Amino acid sequence: MSFFAILFALLLEQVRPLARHNPIHAALRMWARWVSRNFDAGKTHHGWVAWALAVLGPALAVVLLHWALLLYVGWPAAVVWNVVVLYATLGFRQFSHHFTAIRDALETGDEEQARLLLAQWQQVEVMQLPRSEIVRHVIEYSVLAAHRHVFGVLALYSLFAALGLGPFGAVLYRMSEFVARYWPHHNVADTQPVSPALECASVDAWHVIDWVPARTTAVAFAVVGSFEEAIDCWRHHAQRFPNDNDGVVLAATSGAVNVRLGGEALRAAFASSGSTTSSASPTAQVALPPSAAFEDTESTPGREAEVGHLRSIVGLVWRSVVLWMVLLALLTLARLLG
């Protein structure tokens, strides 16, 4: 069932992607604001209670409906419900248009337009970044977006679906990423400040939840890319990035396509909540929380980032998707035959 749900969700998302401003994500933003406003009392345990309500509440709701459909309607209805949930949490089209627009601008030699698009996408200061730095940051942001919008969701969804929990993992992953980004942003934007306890709880929980998916993504990139170089870069250079999980994904990417990543990073310049979708939508952007923003780090080994590497990244990501789907298809076939 998982294989068909993922396949149909990916196809549907390619044909008709969710609009940037849609009622599903608007409702989740309202839910996160309501929880923080009513349950964030400043204590550590209050922070964890608020996080659990904001994240586990929707995840438990979708799995209860999944079980109800299985028991009282039948498995086809449960598959449809899984497709609906995955459609809202999984997909390339939620960020790929940014990547495509910047790549097209760079290929035509319009670096100013590429800088403008990058600034609009990530709400960062670009000033006079050289061409190689623009490409490097596009690679980093795009790879993390692919991980968080596709491979991380696939990993947790597949894991919990195998345990009989349906779409629990997909919602757990997306909601935990969203609140870890959304609540710290509100502290920076000063629109509806949350307590340090709630901010720390959301960031710490996200780090734990993303630990396995990040390494799953890194393994997939290594398998479909240059395996030995990806694993070597992962082992020796992942610690050069401030965030452990992001460092694993980016180091594996660096080795898989032989591109230099890391080094001096862009300075986050978060705008007000009304001016950026990256902080307003749980699935619109990769936008990192301030606590996980890239700082000055050493670069990984590899060639200097060039526009040609962008096509290599696209190939790496799509080969990884094919790898995932083949593995899921084989597991589904084995289960049917067994």
Nearest to 40 by CA among 152, 196, 273, 168: 196
**For residue range 175-188, what is the model confidence (pLDDT) as tens digits?**
999 999 888 765 54
| 242 contacts 292 by C-beta, under 8 angstroms | yes
The answer, yes or no, to whether residue 100 has pLDDT greater than 70, is yes
| DSSP E strands, the chain | 124-125, 267-268
Query: Is 303 a residue whose pLDDT tops 50?
Result: yes
Whether 266 has a pLDDT exceeding 60, the answer reads no
Q: Out of 17-26, 148-157, 187-196, 280-289, which region has the weakest mean confidence (pLDDT)?
A: 280-289
Range 71-84 average pLDDT = 94
Interaxial angle between packed helices 227-237 and 244-257, expressed in degrees from 0 to 180 and rounded to the nearest 10: 150
What residues does each domain of the chain span? Answer: 2-337
Q: pLDDT of 115-159, one tens digit each? A: 888 888 877 776 777 888 888 989 999 999 999 999 999 999 999
Mean residue pLDDT of the chain comes to 84
pLDDT recorded at residue 118: 86
Least Cα distance to 288 among 182, 170, 166, 131 occurs for 182
Q: How confident is the model at residue 294 (pLDDT cuts 50, 70, 90)?
A: very low
The C-alpha atoms of residue 230 and residue 259 are separated, in whole angstroms, by: 11
* pTM score, whole prediction: 0.85
Q: pLDDT band at residue 240, thresholds of 50, 70 and 90? A: confident
What is the percent of the chain with per-residue pLDDT over 70, rounded to a whole number? 86
